[in-house]
Amino acid sequence: MTLDDVYALFDRIALVDDRIVRPNPADAAGQAEMWAVILHDAPLPFAAHAVVHHYQRSPYPLRPADIAEQWRLHIRDRLERHTESEPPIGDTGDDTYRAALLAERLAVACGELEPSPVPPPRTLPAGADVTPGRGRAILAAIGGIPEQPGSGNPRAITCPRCHAEPGRSCTTAGRRRADVHPARLEAAHRASSGLPPVSDEDAHAELQRRLDASRAALAALPPGTAIQAPAGPNAEAEAAS
């Protein structure tokens, strides 16, 4: 938003709330400059919509942080609904694909490009040589998804743990995860192998079996056995020092 955009926004806000804009012209000018700095990346149409959204739900005065937070959530929602393009055929691993990917993300975030849904599975001819794309290899390296022959894409199915929809990342306590839940990974592997999904009863039975096995192993230890806690990642460095 520019300074002129902020003044136009102030005019709209004053129609429903006269507590925002400072009555002193000098104070109002400084206030407008601060709003323009805080909301520099939020377009005026979105800010105007955010004003309506705020006063539909809250009797408190609007702050620039309220608009900035709505804009941040709007961008995150668009990016989570977007499926990034795979590297083109013949990609040599230079910075061309990375630059195109960053430009694509920026266009989706700013509204210049609509989010792309998860593409349908491609039908390949029999005997075709299928090589995992470089994009999936990078995802496996940073997200902990093992590259196994015949394994399914865990983000192509609904997560049984957090119920993330296909194409969207798993979340824990409301925060987006870099990897996927193990239950989602296992469900993708079972689906790619033609096996039915694990039912809640089977999952509970497996958890109970592991708990019973752990209790039995502890009970079999001789009396007075000390169980040493596993060493942390800095144990060797601390011992050397």
How far apart, in whole angstroms, are the C-alpha atoms of residue 28 and residue 13?
13
Residue 239 confidence (pLDDT): 46
Question: Contact at 8 Å (CB) between 166 and 118?
Answer: yes
Give 179-207 pLDDT, tens digit per residue. Answer: 888 888 888 877 777 677 766 777 677 67
Give 14-24 pLDDT, tens digit per residue. Answer: 999 999 999 89
How far apart, in whole angstroms, are the C-alpha atoms of residue 221 and residue 217?
7
Question: Above 70 in pLDDT, residue 89?
Answer: no
Give 97-149 pLDDT, tens digit per residue. Answer: 777 778 888 888 877 888 877 666 555 455 544 444 545 554 444 444 444 44
Q: Which residues contact 167 (CB under 8 A, 6 or more apart)?
A: 81, 83, 117, 118, 155, 156
What's the whole-number average pLDDT of the chain? 77
Question: Contact at 8 Å (CB) between 28 and 21?
Answer: yes
Q: Which of 30-39, 153-162, 211-220, 232-241 has the highest mean pLDDT?
A: 30-39
List C-alpha distances in Å: 226 to 89, 218, 223, 229, 240. 58, 11, 9, 9, 24
Question: Above 90 in pLDDT, residue 32?
Answer: yes
Question: Contact at 8 Å (CB) between 116 and 78?
Answer: no
Average pLDDT of the segment spanning 1-10: 94
**What would the two tokens of residue 141 be?**
């390296």
Residue 48 confidence (pLDDT): 94
Residue 225 confidence (pLDDT): 67
Alpha-helical regions (H) of 39-170: 44-57, 64-80, 95-110, 134-143
Query: Residue 51, Cα to own-chain centre: how many angstroms?
Result: 26
pTM higher than 0.75: no
**What would the two tokens of residue 107 be?**
């266009």
Residue 121 confidence (pLDDT): 55
Query: Residue 152, Cα to own-chain centre: how many angstroms?
Result: 20
